[in-house]
Chain A
Amino acid sequence: MEELIEKLKKEVIAQLNLEEITPEDINPDASLFGEGLGLDSIDALELIVLLEKNYGIKIEDPKDGKKIFHSIRTMAEYITEHQK
């Protein structure tokens, strides 16, 4: 899990062009949206693309994204559960 979390941090930074942020800056339990990293609605859609592209996981209902993308840890948990 911790390995996946570190990998995800790097992937999120790259996919969302978070140029001034390093993996160390991201607390895996902190909220990605709102106050945390301050991501927006386009970033949320971009994370859906990331899951599909890098992990082959398709999110059919964008509303599910809220829970899945709450934090890096919830993303990692979702990937572990759904990856074939």
Chain B
Amino acid sequence: MAFVVFLIITFFIAVTQIVVPYLVKKTVVFGVTIPEQYINDGTIKKLKKQYAISVALLSIVLLTGYSVWSLTTEPKEEQMAMIGVLMEFGIIFISLSLYIYYHGKVKQLKIQNKWVEHLKQVKVTDLSVRNEDEMLPWYVYLLPIISTLGLMIYTMFNYDILPQQIPTHWGPSGEPDAFTEKTPFSAMQHTFLLLIMQLMFFGVHFATKNSGIKLSASNLAASKNRQLTLRKYSSWFLFFVMLACTILMSFFQLTTIHPEFAAGSVKIILPFAFLIIVLVGSLVFALKVGRSDKGLEGTIEDNIMEVDEDQYWKGGMFYFNKNDPSIFVEKRFGVGWTINFANPIGYLIVLLPLIIILIISML
């Protein structure tokens, strides 16, 4: 079981890392802004290909090694999990190192070829673009929260029938394998965690909604389509994950109250289904967004380009722009969002709930 799970997750990580250069915004190559006029340059295409082939080859080696090791030596589940996690981090580390290497190369290429010197940088926006924003309305995210509040009240009323030992951890078979003494707090612990997670998602929605819709002067149609697609599918994906988490955690809370509630197989299938759904969901999300600005050729005026924001991207990865009120901005390497490190609200939304969750789980 552990073997299959790790194989699926690692394979998924490897594939996403391999295709990243082809899914990011057209005009950003390895975290460097390249004017629309030069994105079809031969050297750039070659570097993208080199990166993809390198990550692919190294991933194949790691995955084959892991499979051979697991199938021939038949290690314990814990060992398999340990090495599996190491392998996942290995692939992320490899692709990150290659990214940094190619980031430097493209940066050099840009300076050598003087790609930006003769171009006028233009910021652009459409006054009506906000009317075309198709993010889910905020109140949709209230539904799972209401469901959790209901679950909390239900738990309170059923405190007496809860077992003396409250499960805190579930093994791969879906059976609890760690317990704590029953107290009013420990009985509610999981519902608290769920609620805080949901509130974080709620905050993420507002932060995304208030973040800028960044259009590109050199290709208005493509950039608009990409930004609107990113926002729409982010909000759907966020809701989807929120719903899946709510179902999963509510299920475990209910089986704690009513052990007879679940037949044995559901306990195993549910977490597994959760994993598959989230993986498939993120794949669909990445492909939808990644393809949204491809094939839309803009009318490129000879002497303009979108604003070169490389100076705000520290190391090509961390966005730090005090002038931009956006809390989130589109990632430069990968599909999705990253926080504007110059905006303290971003830290609050992402870090505060994590700290509270950590504190609750350590109490």
A binds B: no
Q: Which A residues lie at the B interface, using CB under 8 A?
A: none
